A = this chain, B = another copy of it.
Amino acid sequence: MQIAIALYERFTALDAVGPFQTLGGVPGAEVVLVAERTGPVRDDTGRLALVADKTFDEVPRPDVLVVPGGPGQSDQMENEALLGWLRAADATTTWTTSVCTGSLALAAAGLLDGRTATSHWLALGELERLGVRPSQERVVFDGKYVTAAGVSSGIDMGLALVGRIAGDERAQTVQLMAEYDPQPPYDAGSPGKAPAHLVAMLRDRSRFSAARSA
């Protein structure tokens, strides 16, 4: 089973590494980081680079496809190298997935038309504008399309998917090895729980006008 994680300039690091760390636990899985070109790809802070080991052309038929999000996503929504690869690869995937604003690329590629999906909470309005039914669930399964909410939710998605692919015991083993027994020191991880003025501040700063008016 080949699992391809797509990289592009200004992706968010944890969006890619959460699913990497969990989905890698599928027995026999070959996980590969892919991009338009091989070599280092910088994240949205400019301070971290992950190496793309294969080009999109070299990985035409992954079984599982993962698109992380990040501010760079806005440039990607008109990047035919990525969108074309997503459409072609999706034709034969078992699972097509995204974390955070990665769902905007899936939507821009036309793969989520009329489906229910999620995204970073600040991008749910944009997702709806692209013809997708937005969900506020953390991980959304709609057929073979699995979308996760913002950044860290890719860990939950990865575990859920390991369970579907390789069974509950395997997923529990992955969770135990990753010691994923989360104990956040604050309870501010979603807009319904965080202090209202912080939610408002982030909405004001957001690049998604649709999210601002939502």
Q: Which A residues are closer than 8 A to B by beta carbons?
A: 12-14, 17-18, 20-21, 24, 30-33, 40, 45, 47-51, 53, 100, 120-121, 138-139, 149-153, 155-156, 159-160, 163, 168-169, 171-173, 175-186, 188-191, 193-195, 198-199, 201-202
> How far, in whole Å, are A191 and B178 apart by their CA atoms in the complex?
11
Q: Residue on B with the closest CB to A177? A: B202
> How far, in whole Å, are A14 and B30 apart by their CA atoms in the complex?
18
Q: Residue on B with the closest CB to A148? A: B179
In the complex, the answer to whether A181 meets B186 with C-beta atoms within 8 Å is: no
Q: Residue on B with the closest CB to A24? A: B45
Q: Residue on B with the closest CB to A190? A: B181
27 example contacts (A-B, Cβ-Cβ < 8 A) are as follows: A12-B21, A13-B17, A13-B21, A14-B17, A17-B48, A20-B47, A20-B48, A21-B152, A31-B45, A31-B47, A40-B40, A49-B50, A49-B51, A49-B53, A139-B185, A150-B179, A153-B179, A155-B184, A156-B182, A169-B195, A171-B186, A172-B195, A172-B198, A176-B188, A176-B198, A179-B190, A181-B189
Residues of B within 8 A of A178 (CB): 14, 150-152, 189
In the complex, the answer to whether A176 meets B149 with C-beta atoms within 8 Å is: no
In the complex, the answer to whether A184 meets B199 with C-beta atoms within 8 Å is: no
Residues of B within 8 A of A32 (CB): 47
Residues of B within 8 A of A24 (CB): 45, 47
In the complex, the answer to whether A163 meets B188 with C-beta atoms within 8 Å is: no
In the complex, the answer to whether A183 meets B156 with C-beta atoms within 8 Å is: yes
A188 touching B175 in the complex, CB below 8 Å, given contacts A13-B20, A31-B47: yes
In the complex, the answer to whether A173 meets B155 with C-beta atoms within 8 Å is: no
Q: Residue on B with the closest CB to A199? A: B176
> How far, in whole Å, are A86 and B49 apart by their CA atoms in the complex?
23
Which listed residue (B150, B177, B183) contacts A150, Cβ 8 A? B177
In the complex, the answer to whether A151 meets B180 with C-beta atoms within 8 Å is: yes
Chain B min CB distance to A156 (Å): 5
